[in-house]
Amino acid sequence: MKPDPEFQFIADTTTAKMTIRREFAARRELVWDCHTKPELLERWFAPKPLSTKTKSMEFQEGGHWHYAMVDQDDTHYWGRTDYTSITPKTHYATTDAFSDETGAPNTDMPISDWDVTFSDTSKGTMVETVIQYASPDDLQKVIDMGMKEGLTSTLETLDEVLAELTK
């Protein structure tokens, strides 16, 4: 993977928190639009080769985004994001849940609170996303599920390193 110096990813299991910071070479208004308009959000939220499908979205406090990340076998991973607070072009907060096709949150799986903050930089715009789970056990559940399902498929490099190590 290419070095990406403007990218910071900090995971802390003791506080059940992930912090992701990334700078973009674009105006804050445009970066904000890409996060808050469904027709734009759909074009990047799921990393390749996945794609994003919006079932419904109301970007307002009390509203929600019901969406799916779709893989190449057409498997849909449904999610539901409820908007709890919005300060235009600066910040929004959500609760993020696993869901099903009807948009009902999956109550067996942990819910996370997201805080997404936008600020100006000399290069363009900084986006900071803080994802907080209720407890380390909740985060562990998500980790366990993620490892079982293998939604992401970008592990070849790491696997190669580990294969080297265990020789």
Summarize as ranges the residues that interact with another protein (CB under 8 A).
Answer: 1, 4, 7, 9-14, 18, 20, 22, 24-26, 30-31, 34, 40, 43-48, 136-137, 140, 143-144, 146-147, 152, 154-155, 158, 161-162, 165-166
Cα 78 from chain centroid? 13
The answer to whether 24 touches 4, Cβ cutoff 8 Å, is no
* 82/52 Cα distance (integer angstroms): 17
- Nearest approach in angstroms of CB 37 to another protein is 11
Nearer to another protein (CB atom), residue 77 or residue 95: 77
Answer for the pair 69, 79: CB distance below 8 angstroms, yes or no: yes
The rounded radius of gyration (Å) of the Cα atoms in the chain is 17
CB of 110 to another protein, least distance (A): 13
Shortest gap between Cβ of 9 and another protein (angstroms)? 5
Judged by beta carbon, residue 101 or residue 137, the one nearer another protein is 137
Residue number, 10 or 104, with CB nearest to another protein: 10
CB of 55 to another protein, least distance (A): 19
Nearer to another protein, 15 or 85 (CB): 15
